[in-house]
Amino acid sequence: MKNLFIVFDGMDGCGKSTQLSMLHDYLFKMDKRIRILSTREPTFGKYGMKIRKMLATHVDPYSDSDILLNLYIKDREEHLENLVKPFLSNHDGNISIILCDRYYYSTIAYQHTQGVELNKVIKLNKKFIKPDLAIILDLHPETALKRISKERAEEKFEKLAFMKELRKNFHDLKELLSDNIVYVDTSGSEDETFEKVKKKVGKLLKSLD
Which parts of this chain interact with ligand TYD (CB under 6 A)?
12, 40-42, 55, 72, 102, 106-107, 110-111, 155, 157
Compute the least distance from the CB of residue 94 to ligand TYD, in Å. 28
Q: Are the C-beta atoms of residues 146 and 154 closer than 8 Å to each other? A: no
Distance CA(161)–CA(183), nearest Å, equals: 21
- Judged by beta carbon, residue 5 or residue 157, the one nearer ligand TYD is 157
- Judged by beta carbon, residue 116 or residue 197, the one nearer ligand TYD is 116
Compute the least distance from the CB of residue 38 to ligand TYD, in Å. 12
Compute the least distance from the CB of residue 12 to ligand TYD, in Å. 5
Contacts for 194 with CB less than 8 Å, ≥ 6 apart: 19, 22, 23, 26
Determine if the peptide bond prior to 86 is cis (ω within 30°). Answer: no
Compute the least distance from the CB of residue 106 to ligand TYD, in Å. 3
Distance CA(41)–CA(106), nearest Å, equals: 9
- Judged by beta carbon, residue 58 or residue 205, the one nearer ligand TYD is 58
